[in-house]
């Protein structure tokens, strides 16, 4: 069985190993690939693994030996699943590896926005505390999380873990769920999406990117938010209308944003949000802890092994 990895570097820049996959077949790992290179590099492959390199209908039709496409991630929109289904090719993903790590990043952004630890530490290193007349100082409002309301948009595994952490901080939690029903999570209450934007002190996005959710954070919904509220996005960049967010931050209609994702990744140099007031962007790393990547790779190996045994798992098409 020939196995080809199109873009393995982000998952494994060298701190993990590919031995588990190598034991299952003839393995070739490319660190990076472009869409134009897919057909040449995947020629003869029965199993094709990709993280962000797109595999579309044209490539699928040009690879007659292909029987399984594995995504080295949870989101699988980079694969034409309909074209794969038409060829009876299984598309498999890794649905659960990053729950703890992504939830942790949500609170990394929340705590940064509410207390600005890095900024204040830098001012101390620059000598400002030593020269200060008083025993303390702060440049930004210091915000306590207890009794604030966290609104979670999308209440799957990650949304549920974020709710657990929020309750540990003494926060109230509301959620907008796909079917509008109360989540099976104790005191988390389901509300309509617009009500969530009105009532939340912090909003965290955890829904998949679909035609229905693209641009779900619109100018109209940003206008519903409290002027003291923060927006957190560790899900998918296109959930947010970036121009509307830029305007809301510029006009101080909301207090700030923590973003681990953008609509286009990597973004172009000079992206407008880079200079937006109280907007902090991390380079899509919520998933990237060593523990999460190890779990991801282990599940990829399990997916390929299950496929080879005729019992494909985590099939999305």
Pairing verdict, β 47-50 and 26-29 = unpaired
The span from the CA of 76 to the CA of 83, in Å, is: 13
Active site residues: 236, 265, 284
Cross-strand pairs, 204? 152, 232
Q: Cα–Cα distance between 43 and 59 in angstroms, integer?
A: 10
Nearest 10 degrees: Cα torsion 19, 20, 24, 25: -30
Q: Which residues, in sequence order, are CB contacts of 207 under 8 Å at separation 6+?
A: 153, 154, 178, 213, 216, 235, 239
The residues, ordered by sequence, that sit 6+ positions from 87 with a Cβ below 8 Å of its Cβ are 60, 61, 66
- Tell me the CA distances in angstroms from 57 to 25, 49, 81, 192, one per residue in order: 25, 16, 9, 37
């Amino acid at each position: 069985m020939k196995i080809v990895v199109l873009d393995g570097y982000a998952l494994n820049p060298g701190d993990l190993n590919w031995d588990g996959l190598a034991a299952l077949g003839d393995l070739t790992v490319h660190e990076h690939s472009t869409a134009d290179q897919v057909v040449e590099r995947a020629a003869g492959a029965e199993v094709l693994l990709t993280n962000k390199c797109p595999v579309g209908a044209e490539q699928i039709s040009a690879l007659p030996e292909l029987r399984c496409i594995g995504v080295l991630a949870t989101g699988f929109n980079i694969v034409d699943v309909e074209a794969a289904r038409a060829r009876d090719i299984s598309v498999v993903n890794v649905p659960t590896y990053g729950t703890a790590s992504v939830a942790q990043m949500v609170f990394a952004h929340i705590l940064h926005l509410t207390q600005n630890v890095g900024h204040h530490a830098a001012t101390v290193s620059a000598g400002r505390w030593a020269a200060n007349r008083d025993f303390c100082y702060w440049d930004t409002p210091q915000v306590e999380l207890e009794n604030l309301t966290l609104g979670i948009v999308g209440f799957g595994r990650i949304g549920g873990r974020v709710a657990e952490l929020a309750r540990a901080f003494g926060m109230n939690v509301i959620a907008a769920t796909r079917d509008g029903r109360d989540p099976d999570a104790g005191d988390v209450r389901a509300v309509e999406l617009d009500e969530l934007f009105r009532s939340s002190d912090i909003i965290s996005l955890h829904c998949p990117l679909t035609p229905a959710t693209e641009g779900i954070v619109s100018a109209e919904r940003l206008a519903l938010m409290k002027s003291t509220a923060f927006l957190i996005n560790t899900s998918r960049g296109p959930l947010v209308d970036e121009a509307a967010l830029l305007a809301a931050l510029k006009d101080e209609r909301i207090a700030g944003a923590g973003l681990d994702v953008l609509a286009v990744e990597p973004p172009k140099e000079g992206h407008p949000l880079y200079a937006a007031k109280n907007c902090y962007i991390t380079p899509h790393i919520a998933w990237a802890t060593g523990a999460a990547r190890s779990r991801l790779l282990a599940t990829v190996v399990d997916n390929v092994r299950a496929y080879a045994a005729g019992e494909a798992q985590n099939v999305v098409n």
